[in-house]
A and B are shown apart, each in its own frame.
Chain A
Amino acid sequence: EAGVAQSPRYKIIEKRQSVAFWCNPISGHATLYWYQQILGQGPKLLIQFQNNGVVDDSQLPKDRFSAERLKGVDSTLKIQPAKLEDSAVYLCASSSDPPLAAIYNEQFFGPGTRLTVL
């Protein structure tokens, strides 16, 4: 079974430029997550999709970050315009349909995209 794919692996941009990251989840996984991991910190959930609908985007800085999941499969995360503090690793994860009333469903992580904003 192929894992979660992300591209690019690395990206360097100037502040105020735009950038987009792509994620392809494990085939058949209904739920997709984007995390931001700043150096020296643990990952922080930015947005969670269930199929192509948003479940939780409470920690997404909506003035500059946007995400979409077309047709409930691939997803893109965009930053426009980027700030210095956006330098981080952006991790994508996916999980299958959760059992009814489940409070946990195992997430499988991709290799991440390391963003450097200069």
Chain B
Amino acid sequence: AQTVTQSQPEMSVQEAETVTLSCTYDTSESDYYLFWYKQPPSRQMILVIRQEAYKQQNATENRFSVNFQKAAKSFSLKISDSQLGDAAMYFCAYCRNKLVFGAGTILRVKS
């Protein structure tokens, strides 16, 4: 079965600084998708960024970018120019027919 591991239960970053959240996963498949979701206190899961495994180029969405290392099964999220509104729980997720989530990383942003 596929598993997703987020080894950082909590991270802090100063406003306007850069932070990287780590994620590793385990799969025997070669074709799949990886995601980072944001869950603020309102509990609404918001898709932040998506990476297709067959694409070597790392995905970017404005201040959010990923470092996808397929051989190492690693998928980290970099948030640049952190803002107070970035504070939330962040989940890494794997999908091949079914979404499998990691345990999450709480991100705190200090002003």
Contact = CB atoms under 8 A, between A and B. Distances in A.
Do A and B pair up? The answer is yes
Given A45-B98, A109-B45, A114-B43, A103 B103 contact: no
A103 B93 contact: no
B102 A42 contact: yes
Nearest to A59: B98
Interface string B37-63: 000001111010000000000000000
A73 interface: no
Nearest to B101: A42
Q: A interface, by DSSP: helix, strand, loop or mixed?
A: loop
Contact of A42 (B33, B43, B47, B91): B91
Task: Categorize the interface residue count of chain A.
Answer: 20 to 34
B44 A111 contact: yes
A99 interface: no
Interface string A78-95: 000000000001010100
Contacts of B66: none
Interface of B: 4, 31-33, 42-45, 47, 91, 93, 95-99, 101-104
Interface of A: 40-45, 48, 56, 89, 91, 93, 103-104, 106-107, 109-112, 114
